[in-house]
Amino acid sequence: MAVTFWAFLSQVMSPDSPCRETVRKVQAWHATRRLPVPSTSTGAYCQARSRLPLKSLHNIQAHSAAELQRGVRSEQLWLGRHVKVVDGTGVSMPDTPENQAVWPQSRNQTNGCGFPTAKLVGCFCLASGALLDLAEGNKHIHESRLFRKQYGLFNEGDVALTDRGFCSYLSVAELQFKGVDTVMRIHKSRPTDFRKGKRLGPKDRLITWTKPIRRPKHISESEWQAIPETLTLRMLHIQIDVPGFRTESIVIVTTLTDPIAYPAEELAKLYLRRWSVELFFRDIKITLGMDVLRCRTPEMVRKEIALHVIAYNLIRGLMQQAAALYDVDITRLSFKGSVDTLRQWTDTFNASHSQPREQRRLFNQLLQIIAEDTVPYRPERSEPRVRKRRPKNYRLMTWPRHQNAPGESS
């Protein structure tokens, strides 16, 4: 079971690695230790992967996140508070009937021409970048309902940082009941009249929200009755003058209503750090290849997602150790560089498996290399989302390959 787990983890950390290559890696590992070499067939490996308990993978995932949380230093906190940032994303997977049944494709796609898409909501530790949890659903489930499943990740005194898609009366009230403060971009359906409410400063007001009349279908009557009738919040206008941002100004609401303890400038800086979650998702989806999954059944897709989370947190753990040991700001370390370094050093570690002292020396050398690989400091850099290299000019699939398109003869 342990060999299967590490083989699966190795495969996840090498996005272009097929099962055959992973089996070859396991065979080489056994050969160097003079153990019986497993079969060349990939069938046994695939069957072994299917026997990995999903619950055990989730336990490993939670443990890796908890270890990263423990490594957060006091100077990394925001005004002495732990901040957890939440955002949503999506991943696709092979077009199989089993996957389509759980994660159906968009209605505007022809059957056989699209891919199942899972909706994910990630909760990250802002200081360490640890992925605490991924709540999974399909296109019929709103992200706010997936976010509600993650309330247990927040401790009293934490701050929840989100975009406007998660900004609702219910989420603010329920988190506040747990002793969790929120900093959210205001939802576009909410009025932003700065002439109302109590003035705290320029474009900084205390406002009152009233409880909605209708109870959401996904919560019980008793839960709804426990929600307060009004909420006193702080509404703040933030002006963004950094080139490259898509908006010039935003409005946030927060339960941090004390303007002395939580100055407007600090709240503005905190919300701008919400962009970090986009980089976290880029690391796990693009660098580790979770954007397009490869497993063909829902059970294995969920295991593949869990392994990606574990791999991501393990890399973050290496970065955290390197940053602490060599006194480097962890936000300046390259995730992609850390992954590349670990991949190249794996064979070196395997070659010294019988020499513990040598392995410790190599590991410290690995941390030093990671700490030295800092990304350039580029304040106010403009990075528009455009592509320079043109894709191949092939037609898009509008009809399944095994069927003739309308108007074509067989």
pLDDT of res. 277: 94
pLDDT of res. 15: 78
Report whether pLDDT(405) > 70.
no
CA distance 198 to 277: 32
Interval 330-370: pLDDT, tens:
999 999 999 999 988 888 887 787 788 988 999 999 999 99
- φ, ψ for residue 137, nearest 5 deg: -155, -170
First-to-last alpha carbon distance for the chain, in angstroms, is 50
CA distance 7 to 26: 7
Is residue 22 within 8 A of residue 321, CB to CB? The reply is no
Interval 196-242: pLDDT, tens:
889 999 999 999 999 999 998 888 899 899 999 999 999 999 887 76
Determine what percent of the chain is predicted with pLDDT higher than 70: 95
Is residue 251 within 8 A of residue 230, CB to CB? The reply is no
pLDDT of res. 409: 58
- φ, ψ for residue 29, nearest 5 deg: -65, -45
Report whether pLDDT(299) > 80.
yes
Q: Which two tokens stand for residue 32?
A: 């160097």
Range in 21-30, 293-302, 319-328 with the lowest mean pLDDT: 21-30
Range in 107-116, 134-143, 199-208, 226-235 with the lowest mean pLDDT: 107-116
- Amino acid symbol at 263: P
Range in 105-109, 172-176, 258-262, 322-326 with the lowest mean pLDDT: 105-109
CA distance 315 to 342: 9
Report whether pLDDT(14) > 60.
yes
Range in 10-24, 146-160, 383-397 with the lowest mean pLDDT: 383-397
pLDDT of res. 344: 87
Q: Looking at residues 251-266, what average pLDDT do you find?
A: 95
pLDDT of res. 308: 95
Q: Looking at residues 37-55, what average pLDDT do you find?
A: 89
Closest Cα to residue 236, out of 266, 210, 205?
205
Report whether pLDDT(18) > 90.
no
Q: 192: how many CB neighbours lie within 10 A of its CB?
A: 15
pLDDT of res. 44: 86
Report whether pLDDT(245) > 60.
no
pLDDT of res. 381: 62
**Bridge partners, 182 (sequence order):** 160
Between 244 and 115, residue with greater pLDDT: 115
The residue with tokens 């153990």 is: 35
pLDDT of res. 158: 96
Q: Where are the domains of the chain?
A: 1-52
- How are beta strands 83-92 and 159-162 bridged, if at all? parallel
pLDDT of res. 261: 95
Q: What CA dihedral angle connects 107, 110, 112 and 117, to 10 degrees? A: -30
pLDDT confidence tier of residue 318, bands split at 50, 70 and 90 = very high
SS3 of the chain = CHHHHHHHHHHHCCCCCCHHHHHHHHHHHHHHCCCCCCCCCCHHHHHHHHCCCHHHHHHHHHHHHHHHHHCCCHHHCECCECEEEEEEEEEECCCCHHHHHHCCCCCCCCCCCCCCEEEEEEEEECCCCCEEEEEEECCCCCHHHHHHCCHHHCCCCCEEEECHHHCCHHHHHHHHHCCCEEEEECCCCCCCCCCCCEEEECCEEEEEEECCCCCCCCCCHHHHHCCCCEEEEEEEEEECCCCCCCCCEEEEEECCCCCCCCCHHHHHHHHHHHHHHHHHHHHHHHHCCCCECCCCCHHHHHHHHHHHHHHHHHHHHHHHHHHHHCCCCHHHECHHHHHHHHHHHHHHHHHCCCCHHHHHHHHHHHHHHHHHCECCCCCCCCCCCCCCCCCCCCCCCCCCCCCCCCCCCC
pLDDT of res. 112: 81
pLDDT of res. 383: 62
- The residue count of the chain comes to 410
Range in 28-32, 97-101, 148-152 with the lowest mean pLDDT: 28-32
